[in-house]
Amino acid sequence: MYRLDEDTIINEQDLENWRRTHYSFQINPSQINQTIIIMGWISSKRDHGNVLFIQLRDKFGDTQVVVKKKGNNLENEIFDVLKNLKEHSSIGIKGKVVEQKKSSTSVEIVPEEIKVLSVSTKSAPFLTQAISNIGIDTRLELRALDLRRDYLQNIFKIRFTILNSIREFLISNYFIEVHTPKMIATATEGGAALFPIFYYDKEAFLAQSPQLYKEQLTMAFENVFEIAPIFRAEPSRTNRHLSEAISIDVEKAFVNYHDVMKLLDELVAYIILKIKEKNQTELNNLELELPDIQIPFPRYSYSELVDKLQKNHKYIRWGDDISPKILKDIVGDSFYYIVDWPLSTKPFYVKPKNYSDIIGLPPNSTTTTTTTTTISNENQKDKESESNRIVSESFDLMYGTLELSSGSTRLNNKNILLDNMKKKGLNHAAFDYHLRVFDYGVPPHAGFGLGLERFIMALLKIENIRDATFYPRDIDRLTP
């Protein structure tokens, strides 16, 4: 029982044997004069004195309900209850379908009986103002309510299409879906950015990527993919990093990075096709047109980009990571690849472009020489070290300045793997569980990890990655 004010008490009722007979999209003029049961929450109310218009929302949209204050007591009672209920209250309505030319479905519902299932006792704090004035933190505090908003409903319906079409596409290309452990003993990339956890009496970590497991699985299943969380203790607050993100990880046997780039091209094209097919309504609501893409996406080599960038940014050296910000001047606002990254910027499992490039070279030769003397000296050094520049069979898929995916051909030769680990200062022993499978014929393989939220951000022009996930986790946020 809820006392809304001095005189108004509203009783919440049980569902009992009431069940919805129609979702909003199933209601049409063929049911005129039938009595149906609809359920949902009040999305809006218009009070015209003795007539009340209510939009009852369910997962597919709104149904118009109209109640008049006249006639018998029962109608008056329904009128009073609905008039007093706040938006977002959950109700069930048993009512007659009647013709209404002005409604988008050409019908509306006149209630004969209602059940108040859950009263909204408060006015939603952020729904009464223009949403653009509300900080995302305020919205996240009440995320489930926030997710009822049209904007996010559209995004998450498209997200669902993206996930389904990824599965469709990969399965039809002979991949199987796998799941790998999220509690692990050692870091995949051997770096920081891990979340330590207690694992019984040992220290363990949340997996920052399924990398080594998906590589191992190519040995048994050849082509595998996983859609699952990755955990990264990102120290900075940005609009494109989450501490827990969904990664679409793909790994394929007997191919190299060119083949998986082609696969990724086709995957992106397929997803866009499917969204256009299934989500035109949502795209219209978001006032978005998806890009008309042409595959293969352009491929720029890391070295060519660095050459271009050096014209305006003299401090950039071959071997540095490329900051997205400075890329702005030279890339368009669409998909493209940066390929052939310096081996030194990539994790130990990434294959050098030419084995002979590294076999026989002295230790540390995989890193570019850096000096701090004058620019002309440095240029000189750069030229000298050009022959030492070791490139990897790797790529990043970008959208404008946003990185969407990283991929590469992986090393499948144990000796080179060991050598690479040594150069990167990694402890072999900690990776023994992984290295030992390389004694048993791991096939050549290549793959990539595509960030789901990043991809959604790019396609749907979302400013903040937090709106591409249900309950974002970041350095400041562990609830809700």
The residue ranges that bind Mg ion (CB under 5 A) are 406
Contact (CB, 8 A) for 48 and 119: no
Please tell me whether residue 96 binds ligand ATP under the rule CB under 6 A. Answer: no
Please tell me whether residue 449 binds ligand ATP under the rule CB under 6 A. Answer: yes
User: In terms of Cα–Cα distance, which of 434, 449, 416 is closest to 185?
Assistant: 434
* Stretch of 128-136, 353-361, 384-392, 448-456 contacting ligand ATP, by CB under 6 A: 448-456
188 touches, from ligand ATP, Mg ion, none (C-beta below 5 to 8 Å by class): none
Contact (CB, 8 A) for 111 and 56: no
232 touches, from Mg ion, ligand ATP, none (C-beta below 5 to 8 Å by class): ligand ATP
User: In terms of Cα–Cα distance, which of 385, 409, 203, 397 is closest to 300?
Assistant: 397
Structure token digits, residue 457: 């951000």
Binder among 89, 154, 218, 247 for ligand ATP (CB under 6 A): 247
Please tell me whether residue 252 binds ligand ATP under the rule CB under 6 A. Answer: no
Q: Which helix (H) or strand (E) holds 212?
A: helix 211-221
Contact (CB, 8 A) for 210 and 442: no
Binder among 55, 406, 408, 420 for ligand ATP (CB under 6 A): 406
* Stretch of 117-125, 215-223, 298-306, 449-457 contacting ligand ATP, by CB under 6 A: 449-457
In the bound state, the residue with its beta carbon closest to Mg ion is 406
* Stretch of 237-245, 312-320, 359-367, 369-377 contacting ligand ATP, by CB under 6 A: 237-245
Nearer to ligand ATP, 32 or 475 (CB): 475
Binding-site residue total for ligand ATP (CB under 6 A)?
14
Helix (H, G, I), strand (E, B) or coil at 10: strand
Binder among 350, 404, 417, 458 for ligand ATP (CB under 6 A): 404
What distance in Å separates the CA atoms of residue 279 and residue 109, rounded to the nearest whole number?
27
User: In terms of Cα–Cα distance, which of 95, 118, 88 is closest to 2?
Assistant: 118
Smallest gap from residue 245 Cβ to ligand ATP (A): 3
Contact (CB, 8 A) for 24 and 60: yes
The Cα-based distances of 70 to 50, 98, 113, 452 in angstroms read 8, 18, 15, 54
User: In terms of Cα–Cα distance, which of 104, 106, 95 is closest to 30?
Assistant: 106
Helix (H, G, I), strand (E, B) or coil at 277: helix
Report the b/e string of 51-76 with b at 16+ CB within 10 A: ebebbbbbeebbbbbbbeeeeeeebe
Binder among 95, 451, 458, 462 for ligand ATP (CB under 6 A): 451
Please tell me whether residue 466 binds ligand ATP under the rule CB under 6 A. Answer: no
Contact (CB, 8 A) for 340 and 396: no
Amino acid at 227: I
Please tell me whether residue 234 binds ligand ATP under the rule CB under 6 A. Answer: yes
* Stretch of 4-12, 97-105, 234-242, 456-464 contacting ligand ATP, by CB under 6 A: 234-242
Smallest gap from residue 458 Cβ to Mg ion (A): 15
Structure token digits, residue 348: 């130990």
Nearer to ligand ATP, 107 or 158 (CB): 158
Nearer to ligand ATP, 119 or 402 (CB): 402
Smallest gap from residue 260 Cβ to Mg ion (A): 14
Structure token digits, residue 224: 């595998």
User: In terms of Cα–Cα distance, which of 159, 178, 237, 206 is closest to 454?
Assistant: 159
* Stretch of 24-32, 94-102, 124-132, 451-459 contacting ligand ATP, by CB under 6 A: 451-459
Smallest gap from residue 335 Cβ to Mg ion (A): 15
What distance in Å separates the CA atoms of residue 63 and residue 274, rounded to the nearest whole number?
28
Nearer to ligand ATP, 77 or 333 (CB): 333
Please tell me whether residue 232 binds ligand ATP under the rule CB under 6 A. Answer: yes
Mode of pairing for the β-strands spanning 445-451 and 35-48: unpaired
Please tell me whether residue 226 binds ligand ATP under the rule CB under 6 A. Answer: no
Question: Which residues sit at the interface with ligand ATP, rule CB under 6 A?
Answer: 232, 234, 241-242, 245, 247, 403-406, 449, 451, 453-454
